[in-house]
A = this chain, B = another copy of it.
Amino acid sequence: MQYPEPIAKLIASYMKLPGIGEKTATRLAFYTLGMADEDVKDFASALTAVKRDLHYCTICGNITEDDPCPLCKDASRDQKTLLVVERSRDIMAMERMNEYHGLYHVLHGTISPSAGTGPMDINIPSLIERLKSHPEINEVIIATNASLDGETTAQYLAKLIKPAQIKVTRLAHGLSAGADIDYTDEVTLFKAVQGRTEM
Contact = CB atoms under 8 A, between A and B. Distances in A.
Interface of A: 1, 3-7, 9-10, 12-14, 16-19, 24, 26-33, 35, 37, 39-54, 63-65, 70-71, 87-89, 91-92, 95-96
A52 B32 CA distance: 12
A175 to B, nearest CB: 22
Nearest to A48: B44
Oligomer copy total: 2
Contact of A47 (B19, B32, B54): B32
A4 B40 contact: no
A71 B1 contact: yes
A176 to B, nearest CB: 16
B30 A89 contact: yes
B17 A50 contact: no
Q: Is the interface of A mostly helix, strand, loop or mixed?
A: helix
A9 B42 contact: yes
A60 B64 CA distance: 49
A6 B33 CA distance: 23
Contacts of A50: 6-7, 9-10, 29, 32-33, 40
B33 A27 contact: no
A95 B46 CA distance: 35
